[in-house]
Amino acid sequence: MIDVNRRFIMGWLDWLLLSVSVFLIALVMLQESKDDVKNTFSGEKSELFKNQKQRGPELLMARITMSTTILFAALAILAIIF
């Protein structure tokens, strides 16, 4: 049977999931786009899959974003289970 209070009150896992999701959105918004905006909407040939190595702050930001994404996915699965 589902606890009535559990349905309406966010637990610590839900709050953690919410904060990680907001942090993940902020990280994605801060990253620099690899593709030109005009090529995205015009349909021109883009070099999206061109070999470009990330270095310095871009590499750090990409690694933090990937780690946060994995953490978000794990927390989402845990939130469904518990």
pTM for the whole thing?
A: 0.70
The 8 Å CB, 24+ separation contacts for 8-14 are: 13/75, 13/78, 13/79, 13/82, 14/79
Contact 39, 46 (CB under 8 A): yes
DSSP characters over 40-67: HHH-----TTS-----THHHHHHHHHHH
In the predicted structure, residue 34 carries a pLDDT above the cut 80: no
Spans of all domains in the chain: 1-30+55-82
pLDDT attached to residue 78 = 93
Q: What is the pLDDT of residues 55-67, one digit of tens each?
A: 899 999 999 999 9
Of residues 53 and 28, which shows the higher confidence score? 28
Poorest-confidence range of 12-26, 28-42, 65-79? Answer: 28-42
